[in-house]
Amino acid sequence: MADIPVTERLKALRVRAGVTMAEAAEALGYKTPSGYQHYEDPKKFFKPYLPAHVIEALLPLFTGRGEPPVQRAEVIALGGPFHLDDPFTPEIIPYPESRGILVPVYAAAMGGEGHLIIDFNPVDRLAPPEDIARVRGAYGILIVGDSMVPAYRPGDVAWVNPHKPLERDTDVVLYHVPPHGEAEAIIKMLIGMSQSEWKLRQYQPPKDFTESRADWTVCHRIVGKKNVR
C-alpha cells in the first residue's frame, strides 16, 4: 500500500529471501551491517523509494530466493513504479523436460471492495501449462468471486508467469506490496498503462477504471487457466 514505507517493504523482502543484514551490507560494499541497516529504519530513511544503486546491488542477492521466490519486479518496485519495458528475462529452471513438474497453487479469499486476499502458503501443487512449467516462480491462483466471469469462474486456477512482459489486453494480477505471507490483490484485464496508472477492465459488473501504480506496485501476467469444469 502507498502508506507502507519502503523501509518495511525492503525488510519483508530481505527476510523472505533469507538474506542477513550482513549479506545485504556486503552487497552494497559496506564493511558492517550498520551501513545497510538505515535503509530499513523509517526513523533514518525517509525517501519513498530506494536509490538505483541499492536496487542494482540487491537484485542478484534477493531474486529467486525464498518461498515464494522473490521476483526481479518486486525488487525493482522498491525503486518506484517500475517501467514495463524493464529488460528482465524469464529465469528458467534447467529441467531436461517438463513432465512431472508441479507448481504451487495459492488460495484466495474475498476482501473489501472486491479485492482478494491471497495466502502464499500452497493449498495444492498442480501440473502447469507447458510454457510455464520451467519458469522459476510460476504459480497458480484459485479463483474466487465473479468479477471476471466468464473469463474466470470461481474454482478455476489462473496460471501466472511473474516474469513475462506485460502487454495491453492481457489479464494480470496486481498486488499492493510484494507477495509474502498474505497479500491483497486484484485480477483484471490490463487495457492500458502509463507511468502513473494502470487502466483496467472487469466484466461483472462491466466497467473500466484506473488504479495508481504507486498503490499497486507489483503486476504479474496471467498466461492461462485450468477450468473448474
| 6-79: CATH architecture | Orthogonal Bundle (1.10)
Say whether pLDDT at 201 is over 50: yes
Task: Report the pLDDT value the prediction gives residue 110, as an integer from 0 to 100.
Answer: 73
Q: Is the pLDDT of residue 175 over 80?
A: yes
Where are the chain's structural domains? 6-79, 103-226
Higher pLDDT, 73 or 80: 73
The predicted model scores a pTM of 0.57
Highest mean pLDDT among 12-16, 87-91, 95-99, 183-187: 12-16
* Range name among 6-10, 44-48, 110-114 with the lowest pLDDT average: 110-114
Q: Is the pLDDT of residue 89 over 50?
A: no
Q: Does 125 have pLDDT greater than 70? A: yes
Three-state secondary structure along the chain? CCCCCHHHHHHHHHHHHCCCHHHHHHHCCCCCCHHHHHHHCCCCCCCCCCCHHHHHHHHHHHCCCCCCCCCHHHHHHHHCCCCCCCCCCCCECCCCCCCCCCEEEEEEEECHHHCEEEEEEEEEEECCCHHHCCECCCEEEECCCCCCCCCCCCCCEEEEECCCCCCCCEEEEEECCCCCCEEEEEEEEEEEECCCEEEEEEECCEEEEEEECCCCCEEEEEEEEECCC
Q: In this prediction, what percent of the chain has a pLDDT beyond 90?
A: 28
| pLDDT range class, residue 22, cuts 50, 70, 90 | very high
Q: Report pLDDT for 130.
A: 85
* Three cell numbers written together for 146: 465473479
Mean predicted confidence (pLDDT) in 149-153: 82
Q: 103-226, superfamily in CATH?
A: Umud Fragment, subunit A (2.10.109.10)
> Do 6-79 and 103-226 come out as alike in CATH topology?
no
Tell me the pLDDT band of 90, cut-offs 50, 70 and 90.
very low
